[in-house]
């Protein structure tokens, strides 16, 4: 029972940054801007969240009394940092009509190096890791439960890896679904990603909608970066280990749709968890290999590829993504 | 307009001008960041950023060893840049050069050490493995229409973990202590080291080998293939418009697969060039190797032009060596910050050249020459290919839009 609890709880933990990152990518691409810079934006969000919570919040009365409010504030800071950073992409891609892949790549190269430089400046030369204090975790007692009273596996399942960002992520999926499919704004956003000329002809301000799309994207990706620090064991490392790119893959896997992204993130994360946890458990074959965990780590990627091959027929990217909008082409 | 008017800047010149503007902009912003970092220090001396920046720019010129290291760094950079750039030409984003590079490097070492191959054969093995790792995303793109970005990302991590697994399970690769990395080539098979043409001792550095020559030769070959062969034409046609090229009788699927195979092969050769130099040892890695990713800025800075990639590879190699000047004071990461700003600005290159063009056009109008360009809003062609230069400027503003 404990094993299952560990696997489920870790699956959810790993899926959070992927889910938020993929939603971030979705908002940008649905508006017509390819956001390959998710990786960089996540690092940026993670960096400022870590600095904010360790430098401004630790040991304050606020953190003692309302730790989850502090986590909420930090998530907002992470989101705003991501938003501001993503405006660099928005300005170049929308206003200046620059190549979106080039701009995104520039941001991806900038962010990890900048994070290390800032960590050197803020912490000390040679140290790029910023540990995040323990206050951010939920425990059973936060919900009025006594940890000794509930079974061990329940405690593991529910509270071992529970953070505020877990709720934020699932909430974000729901909101994204409603915004995208049930509001006027969502319809307009999708129109700008599918056929901006048509959208423009009915009076939608395409460029403005794209700015908003990228801004939402930056905000969510910033929070995704903060949540990655938690999945990473509570430390900011000036790097998100390719989670930004994986989030991009999850977005494509999820077919640019919020609910499918939810399942795609859980699916991918499940196999990743198996890869990390599996080889340490009894009963998993080692095929007579040394360090068989690396074999298990290959699996999530191969399985995703196979599944993609079977589901590719229904896959459809927003039609106008990656093409700068030029009113002259209407 | 039959012939270009006198004193007008050509497309190529405009590209070079905008690259130079980007580079100056990158250096300027990097300098400003240095000043900001210096101010945040508890005891700051305002002269430090100036000294460090000057040191960064001149560092590789300080002695011949450092200067040769520029070429040593540039060789795999150029090859990775060619890998990424070639895929760009066909409209594919090969973000998986790092996976192809990793496996190419690993199998080149396997061939060199376990099978005792000479250097060129070991490199061919690396090339074939890289090509196979490039074939997979090409096949998925062509047959299942799966975005190559997602497949290459997945295959990067698969390649990394596969290499780790194999390294652990091939103990014969590492019989020399500390047993945790592939043995030095010089100890196991000196004939697999890249030839140095006898110059290593003369120059007094381990970093000289023929890698840079291989890279330049392949860049020239790629230039010829792209511009002088039918296959090259098909690749570029697929990049402009897959549907139109299919309509015109080009087998787009085959072209896509071939492009990815060649791209992967180039990345595999890059892996061979890096590790058959005998200066670094293959190790267990927990994160993707940076070299394959560095091919992306190399290709972007050169706008995927094969000969431009030689220049941009050398430039980035120079910056990497110069970056050591930041160490101790700030961090060699500063190099990447400057590089990223340069790339960011280079994304505007088209805008800059467009502005220059418009100014030229206004001047022309002032001089009273007739303007035959037709519409005022000339759409921006994607690349600086020879076709777009050849196309007559008048009358076909519309067709250029279609080529997008």
- B346 in the same domain as B301: no
pLDDT tens, position by position, B210-231: 899 999 999 999 999 999 999 9
In the structure, what pLDDT confidence band is assigned to residue B404 with cuts at 50, 70 and 90?
A: very low
Computed over every residue of chain B, the mean pLDDT equals: 82
Q: What is d(CA A43, CA A28) in angstroms, rounded to the nearest whole number?
A: 18
pLDDT tens, position by position, A12-49: 999 999 999 999 999 999 999 999 899 999 999 999 99
Q: What angle do helix axes A206-231 and A2-30 make, rounded to 10 degrees?
A: 160
- B178 in the same domain as B99: yes
Contact by Cβ (8 Å): B204, B305: no
Give mean pLDDT, residues A115-137: 81
- Asked if A113's CB is within 8 angstroms of B336's CB, the reply is yes
Residue B294 lies in a domain: yes
Cβ contacts of B144 on chain A, cutoff 8 Å: 308-309, 312
Cβ contacts of A21 on chain B, cutoff 8 Å: none
- B316 in the same domain as B177: yes
- B178 in the same domain as B115: yes
Instruction: Kindly report the CATH number assigned to the domain that includes residue B87.
Output: 1.10.3470
pLDDT tens, position by position, A141-190: 777 777 677 777 777 777 777 888 899 999 999 999 999 999 999 999 99
- B125 in the same domain as B21: no
Q: What is d(CA A263, CA A271) in angstroms, rounded to the nearest whole number?
A: 13
- B223 in the same domain as B137: yes
Chain centre distance of CA A173: 12
Q: Which residues are registered as beta bridge partners of A130?
A: A236
Give mean pLDDT, residues A111-122: 88
Exposure of B274 by Cβ count < 10 A (0-12 exposed, 13-18 middle, 19+ buried)?
buried
- Whole-structure pTM value: 0.86
- B284 in the same domain as B150: yes
Residue B184 lies in a domain: yes
Contact by Cβ (8 Å): A72, A212: no
Name which of B144, B158, B337 is nearest A110 (Cβ-Cβ): B337
In the structure, what pLDDT confidence band is assigned to residue A330 with cuts at 50, 70 and 90?
A: low
Residue B149 lies in a domain: yes
Domain extent at residue B351: 14-34+330-364+378-389
- B285 in the same domain as B196: yes
Q: Does B330 touch chain A (CB under 8 A)?
A: yes
For the cut 70, the answer to whether the pLDDT of residue B3 exceeds it is no
Q: Which residues are registered as beta bridge partners of A124?
A: A127
Chain B stretch 23-42, residues whose beta carbon is closer than 8 A to a beta carbon of chain A = 33, 37, 40-41
- B342 in the same domain as B304: no
Q: What is d(CA B4, CA B338) in angstroms, rounded to the nearest whole number?
A: 36
For the cut 60, the answer to whether the pLDDT of residue B390 exceeds it is no
Q: What is d(CA A101, CA A198) in angstroms, rounded to the nearest whole number?
A: 25
For chain A, give the percent of residues with pLDDT over 90: 44
pLDDT tens, position by position, B234-289: 989 888 887 888 888 888 899 999 999 999 999 999 999 999 988 888 888 888 88
Q: What is d(CA A230, CA B179) in angstroms, rounded to the nearest whole number?
A: 34
Closest Cα in chain B, distance from residue A312 (Å): 6
Determine the 3-state secondary structure of B111 from DSSP: helix
- Asked if B144's CB is within 8 angstroms of A308's CB, the reply is yes
- Asked if A328's CB is within 8 angstroms of B377's CB, the reply is yes
Better pLDDT: B125 or B199: B125
Chain A stretch 129-188, residues whose beta carbon is closer than 8 A to a beta carbon of chain B = none
What pLDDT was estimated at residue A227?
A: 93
Residue B401 lies in a domain: no
What pLDDT was estimated at residue A279?
A: 67
Q: Which domains does chain A have, with CATH numbers?
A: 2-141+150-329 (1.10.3470)
Residue B260 lies in a domain: yes
- B253 in the same domain as B132: yes
- Asked if B146's CB is within 8 angstroms of A308's CB, the reply is yes
- B260 in the same domain as B141: yes
Residue B212 lies in a domain: yes
Q: What is d(CA A160, CA A163) in angstroms, rounded to the nearest whole number?
A: 9
What string of H, E and C letters represents the secondary structure of chain A? CHHHHHHHHHHHHHHHHHHHHHHHHHHHHHCCCCCCCHHHHHHHHHHHHHHHHHHHHCCCHHHHHCHHHHHHHHHHHHHHHHHHHHHHHHHHHHHCCCCHHHHHHHHHHHHHHHHHHHHHHHCECCECCEECCHHHECCHHHHCCCCCCCCHHHHHHHHCCCEHHHHHHHHHHHHHHHHHHHCHHHHHHHHHHHCHHHHHHCCCCHHHHHHHHHHHHHHHHHHHHHHHHHHCCCEECCCCCCHHHHHHHHHHHCCCCHHHHHHHHHHHHHHHHHHHHHCCCCCCCCCCCCCCHHHHHHHHHHHHHHHHHHHHHHCCCCCCCCCCCCHHHC
pLDDT tens, position by position, B338-384: 989 988 888 776 666 667 777 877 887 877 655 444 444 444 444 44
Residue B338 lies in a domain: yes
Residue B61 lies in a domain: no
* Residue partners of B207: CB distance under 8 A and separation at least 6: B65, B68, B69, B72, B277, B279
For the cut 90, the answer to whether the pLDDT of residue A75 exceeds it is yes
**What does the DSSP assignment read for B64-80?**
HHHHHHHHHHHHHHHHH
Q: Does B154 touch chain A (CB under 8 A)?
A: yes
Total domains present in chain B: 2
A189: nearest Cα among A171, A208, A168 = A208
Q: Does B87 touch chain A (CB under 8 A)?
A: no
For the cut 70, the answer to whether the pLDDT of residue B15 exceeds it is yes
B92, B138, B347: best mutation site toward chain A, by most A Cβ within 10 Å? B347
pLDDT tens, position by position, A205-256: 999 999 999 999 999 999 999 999 988 888 888 888 889 988 988 998 898 9
- B208 in the same domain as B292: yes
pLDDT tens, position by position, A295-324: 888 888 888 888 888 877 777 788 888 788
Chain B stretch 253-272, residues whose beta carbon is closer than 8 A to a beta carbon of chain A = none
């Amino acid at each position: 029972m404990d094993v299952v609890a560990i696997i489920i709880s870790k699956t959810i933990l790993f899926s959070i940054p992927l889910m938020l990152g993929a939603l971030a990518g979705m908002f940008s691409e649905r508006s017509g801007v390819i956001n390959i810079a998710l990786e960089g934006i996540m690092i940026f969000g993670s960096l400022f969240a870590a600095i904010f919570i360790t430098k401004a919040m630790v040991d304050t009365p606020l953190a003692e009394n309302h730790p989850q409010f502090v986590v909420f504030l930090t998530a907002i800071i992470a989101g705003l940092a991501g938003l501001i950073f993503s405006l660099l992409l928005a300005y170049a891609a929308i206003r200046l009509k620059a190549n979106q892949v080039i701009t995104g790549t520039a941001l991806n190269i900038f962010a990890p190096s900048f994070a290390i430089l800032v960590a050197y400046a803020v912490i000390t030369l040679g140290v790029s890791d910023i540990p995040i204090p323990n206050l951010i975790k939920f425990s059973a007692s936060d919900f009025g439960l006594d940890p000794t009273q509930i079974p061990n596996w329940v405690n593991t399942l529910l509270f071992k890896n529970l953070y505020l960002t877990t709720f934020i992520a699932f909430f974000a999926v729901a909101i994204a679904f409603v915004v995208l499919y049930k509001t006027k704004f969502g319809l307009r956003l999708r129109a700008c990603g599918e056929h901006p000329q048509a959208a423009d002809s009915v009076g939608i301000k395409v460029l403005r909608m794209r700015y908003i799309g990228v801004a939402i994207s930056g905000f969510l990706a910033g929070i995704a970066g903060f949540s990655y620090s938690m999945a990473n064991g509570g430390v900011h490392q000036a790097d998100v280990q390719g989670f930004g790119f994986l989030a991009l893959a999850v977005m494509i896997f999820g077919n640019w749709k919020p609910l499918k992204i939810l399942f795609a993130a859980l699916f991918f994360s499940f196999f990743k968890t198996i890869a990390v946890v599996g080889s340490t458990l009894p009963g998993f074959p080692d095929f007579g290999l040394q360090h068989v965990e690396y074999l298990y780590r290959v699996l999530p990627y191969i399985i995703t590829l196979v599944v993609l091959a079977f589901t590719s027929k229904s896959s459809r990217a927003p039609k106008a993504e990656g093409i700068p909008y030029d009113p002259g082409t209407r | 307009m039959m012939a270009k008017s006198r004193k007008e800047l050509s497309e190529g010149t405009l590209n070079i001008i905008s690259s130079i503007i980007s580079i100056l902009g990158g250096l300027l912003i990097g300098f400003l960041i240095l000043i900001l970092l210096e101010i945040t220090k508890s005891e700051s001396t305002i002269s430090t950023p100036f000294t460090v920046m000057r040191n960064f720019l001149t560092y590789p010129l300080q002695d011949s060893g450092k200067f040769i290291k520029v070429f040593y760094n540039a060789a795999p950079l150029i090859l990775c840049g060619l890998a990424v750039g070639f895929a760009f030409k066909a409209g594919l984003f090969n973000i998986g050069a790092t996976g192809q590079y990793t496996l190419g490097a690993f199998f080149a070492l396997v061939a060199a050490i376990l099978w005792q191959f000479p250097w060129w054969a070991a490199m061919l093995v690396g090339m074939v493995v890289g090509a196979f790792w490039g074939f997979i995303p090409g096949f998925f793109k062509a047959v299942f229409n799966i975005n190559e970005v997602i497949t290459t990302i997945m295959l990067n991590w698969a390649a990394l973990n596969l290499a780790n697994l194999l390294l652990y399970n091939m103990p014969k690769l590492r019989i020399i202590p500390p047993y945790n990395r592939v043995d030095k080539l010089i100890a196991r098979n000196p004939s697999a080291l890249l030839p140095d043409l006898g110059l290593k001792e003369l120059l007094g550095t381990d970093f000289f080998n023929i890698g840079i020559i291989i890279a330049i030769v392949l860049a020239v070959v790629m230039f010829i293939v792209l511009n002088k062969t039918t296959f090259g034409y098909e690749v570029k046609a697929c990049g402009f418009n897959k549907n139109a090229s299919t309509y015109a009788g080009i087998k787009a699927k085959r072209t896509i697969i071939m492009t990815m195979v060649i791209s992967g092969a180039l990345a595999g050769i890059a892996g061979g060039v890096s590790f058959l130099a005998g200066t670094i040892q293959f190790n267990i890695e927990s994160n993707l190797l940076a070299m394959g990713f560095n091919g992306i800025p190399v290709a972007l800075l050169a706008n995927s032009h094969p000969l431009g990639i030689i220049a941009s590879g050398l430039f980035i190699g120079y910056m990497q060596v110069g970056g050591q000047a930041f160490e101790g004071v700030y961090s060699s990461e500063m190099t990447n910050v400057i590089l990223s700003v340069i790339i960011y600005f280079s994304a505007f290159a088209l805008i800059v050249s467009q502005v220059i063009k418009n100014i030229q056009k206004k001047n022309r109008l002032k001089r009273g020459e007739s303007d035959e360009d037709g519409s005022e809003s000339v759409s921006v062609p994607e690349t600086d290919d020879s076709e777009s230069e050849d196309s007559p400027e008048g009358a076909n503003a519309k067709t250029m839009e279609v080529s997008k």
